[in-house]
């Protein structure tokens, strides 16, 4: 922004907060404990006193956050925020995308293990997004688990949040989620679904007539059966 220009400005959402521009100097240079912007966001006593130190934050992360109840609340936060937004903007349909991913680890991180599919040591988290790309839920899973492991534990709270909405609801997943129990669950909740089937000889035999290449030039539009 260059050197300071003009006077301080105030924001509409909190008239006690003043914003000034001082070139490359920014509020976060002060560090977590004395950072005025962070203390203001936290609110309460943090506005007038110092914030938490690095050691205090470490104890908070390793002793308080891992408690089962706190983990559940944190896991539900993204979905709650997204729901509040969609309640204001309106949601005409809901599409849930469930998929796993990899989170590489280094050293001897607790709960990590070698995953043969990815070919390295990692965690194997599970994610659920809506059609807008918003994260509705995530689960950091340990070791070398199957891609669909604990799908219901992640999906249940999300489905429950949107159960009262009278809108079309859909689910999408890859072949890892081709599970009869998941089919029954989605049908019971009123979801239509598109889940890739795992390749097998029975499937190939039944769709063989659809796999034959048409004579002549390939069509410009997809063939729908």
State how far the alpha carbon of 37 is from the alpha carbons of 6, 24, 51, 134, in Å: 20, 16, 11, 27
The first and second tokens of residue 155, run together, are 């999906």
- Name 103's bridge partners: 123
What pLDDT shows up at residue 33?
78
Tens-place pLDDT, residues 1-25: 334 455 678 877 777 777 787 776 7
Tens-place pLDDT, residues 66-90: 888 888 888 888 999 998 898 888 8
Going through 22-179 in order, the beta strands assigned E by DSSP cover 94-100, 103-104, 113-115, 120-123, 126-129, 135-139, 169-173
11 vs 116: CA distance, rounded Å? 52
Question: Would you give the DSSP letter of residue 22?
Answer: B
What is the value of pTM for the model shown? 0.69
N-to-C CA span, the chain? 59
Contact 198, 175 (CB under 8 A): yes
What pLDDT shows up at residue 1?
35
Tens-place pLDDT, residues 92-144: 999 999 999 999 998 888 888 888 888 899 999 999 999 999 999 999 887 78
Domains and CATH numbers, the chain: 9-62 (no CATH), 68-211 (3.30.420)
């Amino acid at each position: 922004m260059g050197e300071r220009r003009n006077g301080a400005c105030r924001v509409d959402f909190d008239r006690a907060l003043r914003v000034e521009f001082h070139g490359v100097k920014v509020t976060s240079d002060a560090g977590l404990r004395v950072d005025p912007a962070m203390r203001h966001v936290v609110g309460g006593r943090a506005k007038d006193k110092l914030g938490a130190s690095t050691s205090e934050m470490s104890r908070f992360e390793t002793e308080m956050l891992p408690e089962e109840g706190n983990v559940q609340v944190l896991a539900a936060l993204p979905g709650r925020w997204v729901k509040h937004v969609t309640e204001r903007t309106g949601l005409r349909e809901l599409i849930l995308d469930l998929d796993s991913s990899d989170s590489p680890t280094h050293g001897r991180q607790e709960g990590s293990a070698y995953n043969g599919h990815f070919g390295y040591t990692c965690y194997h988290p599970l994610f659920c997004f809506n059609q807008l790309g918003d994260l509705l839920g995530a689960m950091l899973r340990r070791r070398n688990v199957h891609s669909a492991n604990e799908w219901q534990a992640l999906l249940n709270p999300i489905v429950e949040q949107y159960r009262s909405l009278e809108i079309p609801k859909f689910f999408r997943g890859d072949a890892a989620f081709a599970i009869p129990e998941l089919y029954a669950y989605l049908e019971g909740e009123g979801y239509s679904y598109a889940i890739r089937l795992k390749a097998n000889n029975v499937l190939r035999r039944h769709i063989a007539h659809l796999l034959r290449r048409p004579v002549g030039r390939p069509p410009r539009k997809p063939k729908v059966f």
